[in-house]
Amino acid sequence: MSSPIEKDSQAIDTGALSTNGTKEPFHEEGLELSGRPATVNLHRQKWYQWFSPSDTPEERRLILKLDALIMIFVFLAYWAKVLDSSATSAAYVSGMKEDLKLFGNELNYLNTTYMVGYITLQIPLTVLMTRFSAAYFIPGADLIWGILTLAQYKVSNVHQLYVLRFFVGAAGSLFFPAVQWHLGCWYKRSELSRRGALFFIASQVGSMSSGYIQSGAYAHLNGRYGIEGWRWLYIICFACTVPVALLGFIVLPGHPDTCKPFILTENDIRLARERMAAENREPRKPITLSVIKSVLVGWHFWVLVSFAFFFSQADGISSNSGLPLWLKAEGYSVEKINTITTILPAVTIVSSIICGVLSDIYDAKICLITITALLNILAGVVLAIWDVPKGLKFFAFFLSGSADGIAAVIYAWANEICAGNAEERAIVLSSMNTVGNTFGAWLPLL
């Protein structure tokens, strides 16, 4: 997403004199879920404006730097993740099934093994990351992921593949919650949803492009240098992942309270710390049992994790879409199936952009979550009835893609609610994703 940079504007004086003569900011009546009053934005930001009218020229330059450093990396890294994640399914139908003699339920077992590694280590690794520099932890995990992905091209039996799939899942478990946490370390609440939407869009772009990349690689590389086409898929994934991971070591700024001047200047870092202090983002603290206990007994954890669980199950209409199976049963050609199914992630991309913009500009998170939930219910009801005109089935399948678009808003909301505690944010964000994905570990076995 791109938008014009508005003309520099001066921040207005939103203060009022208190009884002792000091300035105090005006606040809205009522308390936000984050536990603090929300400041009134007297200069309403337009939907097409990338910056708030109250942002100073210095702050705008910082935001552009952060977008260039953080968002470009996480977009490319997430795209590569989706490409890698789909490689095993693509390899299975591209010759791996026959070469490794996988004639039972092995593909489901491989996917489950991956998910077990993913959900087992996601929370511990994300919490551990808060004690180290995310600038090294996130790309380091990506680099390990890429190396393990490459190792899969050398397997000679399914047992070796089971072991590698577990560790690939473990290495990739950190990425999603860690990026969400990292965004919450640098961006204000009015900036988070749009960045989260851009991050999430990368997964949809990966879904749309992975099939074409994998089919092209198989068609042109099968048998080259004596290597089967399905093995080349893992090599291609490695070649996409490792350069992006190495880029992360250079561009990710780490955490504001420990960031050292490199691409960001000392003045940038000072301003970033001031921005986060104004958002009530507290510096990191050591992880202790008392900290973990305080998080687990608080309402933030249970409400947000429960919410994420129900959301993840509701969006199964699109993420586990039966659209390609239905199209195949209707007699559509492979080319048409591949083309039509790209509409679903395209709908999700549009939904993500709309939800991200409206959430940041109008702070309409509850309204947006409600609307997308109702649209998903409508899609689910139509598909449950099934005996409806073909056009209505198409409409329901495509409409279900709108539900995934709210993911960025939900995680931005969690970032805001837990803004005052970096450790709580890490535990809650990773737990939301872990619990939401738990069904993926055993549901395919049923």
- The CATH code of the domain that includes 284 is 1.20.1250.20
36 within a domain of the structure (yes/no): no
The predicted pLDDT at position 315 comes to 64
Report the pLDDT averaged over residues 71-92.
90
What digits encode the pLDDT tens for the residues 31-63?
Answer: 333 344 444 444 566 766 778 888 889 999 999
Most confident of 1-5, 222-226, 302-306: 302-306
Cβ atoms of 94 and 233 within 8 Å: the answer is yes
pTM of the predicted structure, to 2 decimals: 0.82
The predicted pLDDT at position 21 comes to 42
The predicted pLDDT at position 441 comes to 57
Report the pLDDT averaged over residues 23-30.
37
Q: Would the pLDDT of 331 be above 80?
A: yes
Amino acid at 407: A
50 within a domain of the structure (yes/no): no
102: containing domain: 57-434
Q: What's the first-to-final CA gap in the chain, in angstroms? A: 40
Cβ atoms of 119 and 312 within 8 Å: the answer is no
Question: How buried is residue 176: exposed, middle or buried, by Cβ count under 10 Å (0-12/13-18/19+)?
Answer: buried
What digits encode the pLDDT tens for the residues 202-242?
Answer: 988 888 888 778 778 888 888 889 999 889 999 999 999 99
Question: For every residue of 215-275, which 3-state class applies, written as one string?
Answer: HHHHHHHCCHHHCCHHHHHHHHHHHHHHHHHHHHHHHCCCCCCCCCCCCCCHHHHHHHHHH
24 within a domain of the structure (yes/no): no
Report the pLDDT averaged over residues 162-186.
94
Cβ atoms of 439 and 312 within 8 Å: the answer is yes
What's the whole-number average pLDDT of the chain? 83
Report the pLDDT averaged over residues 60-74.
94
Q: Which 3 state secondary structure label does DSSP give 19?
A: coil
320 within a domain of the structure (yes/no): yes
Residue of 67 and 404 predicted with greater confidence: 67
158 within a domain of the structure (yes/no): yes
107 within a domain of the structure (yes/no): yes
294 within a domain of the structure (yes/no): yes
Distances (CA, A) of 240 to 42, 95, 177, 247: 45, 22, 22, 12
Report the pLDDT averaged over residues 409-437.
91
In the numeric block, which tokens belong to residue 303? 């409400």
Cβ atoms of 190 and 52 within 8 Å: the answer is yes
The predicted pLDDT at position 132 comes to 83
The predicted pLDDT at position 30 comes to 35
203 within a domain of the structure (yes/no): yes
The count of domains in the chain is: 1
